[in-house]
Amino acid sequence: MTRALVFFLQTLLAIAFLSGLFAQVVVIPTTAADEAGLFPPYESVRVPLVVFAIVFVACLQVLAVALGVMLQRAGDDTVFESRSVTWTNVAIGAITAGAVVMAALFVYVTFADIPSPADGMEVLGLWMGSGAGTVAAVGVALLVYLGRKWLGQAIAQRAELEQVV
């Protein structure tokens, strides 16, 4: 992988990380407060939904850091070393934590009495989105777990090959 490509991708990940930080500090709380101001019954669910959103973004930030380190390892041609497995585990943990947050949101929306200014479609959309997000995150976590297994096998084969050579 070329240095320019690694730098470009790491720059994009850094922008995503900083955008997530801005969202956690400014966008999510402000938007929630504005929505509660427009429809006061939302005030009862504002804090839990803000917490879910902020924690989910934090999971994405951890994933961005892990991907950035793995990109660096790819640029340095050190992917097939045991430390790469550690960062793959961090990525799997971040994805899994995001799936848990989405599942918790799904359960919360299922059992909470969330008011609706109209016909309830936004609550249904949140419920369906959190359910689909949970399934998608679990699927991605399983795919990355499979990739980690392949990485472990490649590291073992490389070590064996180095002994032969």
pLDDT tens column, 103-158: 999 999 999 988 888 788 889 999 999 999 999 999 999 999 999 999 999 999 98
Neighbour tally for 98: CB within 10 Å: 25
pLDDT at 59 over 80: yes
Measure the CA–CA gap between 84 and 82, rounded to whole angstroms.
5
SS3 percent helix, strand, coil of the chain, rounded to 5, is 90, 0, 10
> Locate tokens 């799936």: which residue?
99
Asked if residues 77 and 126 have their Cβ atoms less than 8 Å apart, the reply is: no
Instruction: Report helix, strand or coil for 150.
Output: helix
Measure the CA–CA gap between 143 and 148, rounded to whole angstroms.
9
Confidence of residue 165 (pLDDT cuts 50, 70, 90): confident
In 28-119, which ranges are continuous DSSP H helix? 28-38, 43-75, 82-111
> What share of the chain in percent tops pLDDT 90?
81
pLDDT tens profile 21-47: 999 999 999 999 999 999 999 999 999
Q: Region 76-94: what's the mean pLDDT?
A: 93
